[in-house]
Structure 1
Amino acid sequence: MDIAIIDDEQVFLEIFKSDVIKICNDNDIECYIDTFNSARNIMEIYKNYHLIFLDIDMPGTDGITALREINKIYNPKEFPYIAFVTSKENLIYEALKEFPYTFIRKKDINEILENCICNIYEKTNPKKQKYTIKCGRNLVNVFIKDIIYIDKIKNYVWFHTVNGTYKERATIEEKFADLMPQNFVRTHIGCLVNLDYIFEVTPNSVLLDNGESVVLSRKYYNEVNNRYYESLVVDDD
């Protein structure tokens, strides 16, 4: 998880960074942390981070002004999550008008910080993310990483997961839009496969780790083959 800490008090900045590193280590979270004494250049860098701890009261560009500027162009589907940090109680109401993800009083950091980091890690880490399947009148939450593949049969989309199979009355196009950014690839017009479960790609089919195979159409062969080998390179790294 990529984290930025912005505070004009250098001593606090170093202590806070140490606290964040300890929490990440204790929770097995790989983190990369940058620290800044000013929010002046936040507009140029904010997309580089999953989480930004932003002090409200700073000389020059303060945290409230910085988030206000970000909100003018911010896409809610993008990172980062902004957590305001301050000891100025009188600025809380004004700060909340800019809709930060959360607000941390410096005096309460020990009680709040770990929960904040862990919650955002789950939101930003695909292996921790869940997907809701509407099975009739019931809702089933599954980890995206546990979905092996999904395919379309008549008016239903079937989710084949490591823990069972579920069906939802929906279109495959809806699921394609939801899951394509989450490491899935289309093998034919009615099937999406999680790249993590592909064992082998052949000209006509994709063999999965569980022994099943799905049809691979000529139209999607190059994309599937390329993304599969790209994923192998990433795993090797």
Structure 2
Amino acid sequence: MIRCLIVDDEEPARELIKLHLSDLDGFEVAASLSNALDAFTFLQKNSVDIVFLDIRMPRISGLELVRSLKYTPRIILTTAYREYAAEAFEIDVFDYLVKPITHERFMKAIAKYMHYQSGQAATMDTQKNDDHAYMFFKVGRDQVKVFLKDILYIEGLADYIKVHTKDKSYIASEKLGYMEEKLPLNSFVRIHKSFIIALDKISSYNADQVILNNNKALPLGRLFKAGFLTIVQIKKQS
């Protein structure tokens, strides 16, 4: 069952999402809330797969809610305002629906979600041996196998990513936020809105950047610094 959370300060908007979801088998509404603060509290205690989230709401906005969450489900923004789209996709929202939301456009978002969940964009081998762990990346028309041990870093490019290895780079049809969820936490860490790095490829770091063992220097983002430093300290102690 795919659990959904609806967050919007307008009841008719919440009811419309419920109506659209009622046509789908395998989807359930875990909660329908009128503000982002209640949603934050709910998400600390409950797991959902999709959040249908308005942007302009009292006290804190939908975008502020997304930024406050350490681990986020798929976020589908539902808003009357187009001007937030660029900012929204910088924080890796899954889709952006402009009100009034037609049934056709809603179903397109659901189809996109199902495609990603099916693993057609990227699938991971679950072997315990890290040396043999790999993912398939959709590069053009091909699914390209890349061993995780060969990845130096992954760069976000809007709706695409660039996977950098020692010998080659691949531009794949994926989002950086999805990769952050799928890559093993003990091996990879996000250091910037545009970069995920392999922990074992770090040569050095300072307050502003991380230098990889190929001498590539990448920026250390303010919002990601605390998480990065925590993970590095844990790795030192292990």
Tell me the TM-score normalised to structure 2 length: 0.46
Rg bigger for which structure?
1
Greater fraction of residues in helix: 1
